[in-house]
Chain A
């Protein structure tokens, strides 16, 4: 089954403790992206990657890092989380040429930073 898998689904952490949210897709898609969703603000793009070793900033990249060492994986790293990063995070993917926004979304990771 074609899917985008995020882990964990729920995460509670404390300010300053580094964390990684994993994202993996099994569709051999070139394009992957991370979004955060906050009430009344829709989805805002954090980072995206057009292919392996190619990443770029979205609209709200501050406080986040990403890497794309393999085509299928696109982890989101919070080196020093803060309470304002409490949010619902989505990873997504698309094949090359399919256009952005992406076609396939994961089920989300709800992060709480205390």
Chain B
């Protein structure tokens, strides 16, 4: 069964500092991996996704993530955090098989940005 672990429930960083949010997954083959952001009262917005190829993926809002198969990780990074990045972040994994529709989300990491 596929699973996703986001080890950090809550992270606080200062504005302008770098950010790394951790995500570890469990899946039997090469997975689809996604990062989403959710602002209060809003739906989820896709930040970036990994299907195959280059293991460093660029997303929107200056975010990037690196797929490391050996560590079963897909950590999200941003070099300089802005106050508007304060939100909840979700990592998710999906099946690669053509007919697979199941998806699994982590429990989320809440990001607080200090001025």
Contacts and interface: CB of A to CB of B under 8 A. Distances in A.
A7 B104 CA distance: 24
Contact of B105 (A4, A31, A101, A104): A101
Contact of A45 (B49, B104, B106): B104
A12 interface: no
Nearest to A6: B43
B46 interface: yes
Interface string B99-115: 11111111110000000
Given A33-B101, A58-B102, A101-B34, A41 B107 contact: yes
A105 B34 CA distance: 13
A49 B103 CA distance: 12
Interface string B1-42: 000100001000000000000000000000010101000001
Interface residues of A, number: 28
Contact of A44 (B9, B49, B105): B105
Tell me whether chain A's interface is mostly helix, strand or loop, or mixed.
strand
B32 A101 contact: yes
Nearest to B94: A100
A15 B100 CA distance: 34
Contacts, number: 70
A40 B4 CA distance: 14
Nearest to A92: B44
Contact of B101 (A35, A41, A56): A56
Which of A58, A90, A99, A103: most chain B CB closer than 10 A?
A: A99
Contacts of B92: 43, 101
A99 B49 contact: yes
A83 interface: no
Given A41-B107, A42-B90, A100 B102 contact: yes
Interface of B: 4, 9, 32, 34, 36, 42-46, 49, 51, 90, 92-96, 99-108
